[in-house]
A = this chain, B = another copy of it.
Amino acid sequence: MSELAVKAQKLDAADELAALRDRFVLDPGSDRVADAAGVYLDGNSLGALPASVPDRVADVVRRQWGELRIRSWGESGWWTAPERIGDRIAPLVGAAPGQIVVGDSTSVNVFKALVAAVRLAREPGHGGRRDEILVDATTFPTDGYIARSAARMTGCALRPVTPEEVPGALTDRTAAVLINHVDYRTGRLHDLPSLTAAVHEAGAHAVWDLCHSAGALPVGLDEHGVDLAVGCTYKYLNGGPGSPAYLYVRKELQDRFDSPLPGWNSHAEPFGMHPEYEPAPGALRGRVGTPDILSMLALEAALEVWDGVTIEAVRAKSLALTDFFLECVAEYVPAGRVESLTPRAHAERGSQVALRCADAGDVMKRLIERGVVGDFRHPDVLRFGFTPLYVGFGDTERAARVLAETLAV
């Protein structure tokens, strides 16, 4: 057994979170895995299945829908699910209750948040023309596409800048800034506290996209005075494929949150059937249409894996895992064959490792055939996501070893 394999065993033995793995359905024995138990390092794309989900979903389908039917909107708590599940996510991102609603896709929530942010910036007293939106030039594309639409529909110019360039790009024309907390491609963690402060200093509002940070590291939304944030729930929150996204609106801004999608679910009296829109108080104002109950209640069950778990412990293990993976890669993989795009500094690292590799598409195919599942991002990036709730150090060492063997072929 190699030195690193021995080290992995020791790290696993000392891992306080190791037992959480039992809260997931893993290794059901895929016929694809020829020579090793699977190592799932794609939880930054689709989280593994929490063990509590299948029975819950079956109950929602068979009893809540099949038997109680329409009564479940009240009796099974369907109607209040978006804010109830929002409150379940809140502690994971450092938010007090009453500020998050779950529903719609991340893209739709980016639209709500960004348009609302521009409208906030144009309230009296902000000064300036407020006709420009800054958008993270390195963003996952959908945020950029939606930002362009939000800019077009609010009469703003859209200006792509890297997160590092944001402070220098802020002017009294800046209405809103859309930034990713962790870069989807490189895994770089951006400095949320200082960037938020700079945006505020310029009289603008920040919208943070937490897709690649929520559930992997502390976000501190309330602590750092974030205005608006969005995120998906199918990565580190393990909500299932395409599970509903969420929207955070800071309490002090909720009364002025002016949604471009004012559906009946955000009305102060949704069953009053009033022809005029009157927005509900609080986070509910971020709701739109009828919530997608099957997906939403699967997510609610999935969030039970967080019972008794602190995000700080998860972060500590996440850094230990990515450190260890980089160490194993450096040891096993021939020099120059891959190049890490992920920052070495902990303060700049999310919970994934991105390796640049000339033939990344082919390499990932072969890795997956051998049971090591990461993903490929065009044109030359191997992505490996580390979910501390179910990934161990032995998995990590094995993944690096299989990677080295694959690259040696």
Measured between beta carbons, the chain B residues less than 8 angstroms from A70 are: 42, 45-46, 373, 375
Known A-B contacts A105-B104, A234-B290; the reply to A275 vs B137 at CB < 8 A is: yes
Measured between beta carbons, the chain B residues less than 8 angstroms from A61 are: 49, 53-54, 57, 240, 298
Copies in the complex: 2
How many A residues touch B, CB cutoff 8 Å? 83
Measured between beta carbons, the chain B residues less than 8 angstroms from A54 are: 58, 61-62, 66
Listed stretches A123-131, A142-150, A186-194; interface member: A142-150
Which B-chain residue is minimally distant from A239 (CB atoms)?
Answer: B294
Measured between beta carbons, the chain B residues less than 8 angstroms from A394 are: none
Measured between beta carbons, the chain B residues less than 8 angstroms from A377 are: 273
Measured between beta carbons, the chain B residues less than 8 angstroms from A142 are: 263-265, 289
Measured between beta carbons, the chain B residues less than 8 angstroms from A259 are: 149
Interface residue? A295 (CB, 8 A)? yes
Measured between beta carbons, the chain B residues less than 8 angstroms from A240 are: 61, 65, 293-294
Q: What CA separation (Å) do A240 and B273 show in the bound complex?
A: 23
Q: What CA separation (Å) do A115 and B260 show in the bound complex?
A: 12
Please provide the chain A residues from 143 to 166 with a CB less than 8 Å away from any CB of chain B in the complex. 144-146, 148-149, 153-154, 160
Q: How far is the CB of A322 from the nearest CB of chain B, in Å?
A: 19
The 8 closest A-B pairs by CB, nearest first: A105-B289, A107-B263, A107-B289, A142-B264, A241-B293, A49-B66, A145-B277, A242-B292
The contact sample of 24 A-B pairs, CB cut-off 8 A, is: A42-B70, A45-B70, A49-B65, A57-B61, A70-B373, A106-B289, A108-B108, A108-B261, A108-B289, A111-B261, A137-B275, A140-B264, A142-B264, A145-B267, A148-B262, A149-B260, A160-B275, A185-B273, A241-B290, A242-B293, A245-B289, A273-B377, A294-B294, A295-B295
Known: A104-B108, A105-B288, A234-B290. 13 other contacts (CB 8 A): A30-B68, A49-B62, A49-B69, A104-B105, A107-B265, A141-B264, A144-B277, A153-B154, A232-B290, A241-B290, A242-B290, A242-B293, A273-B377
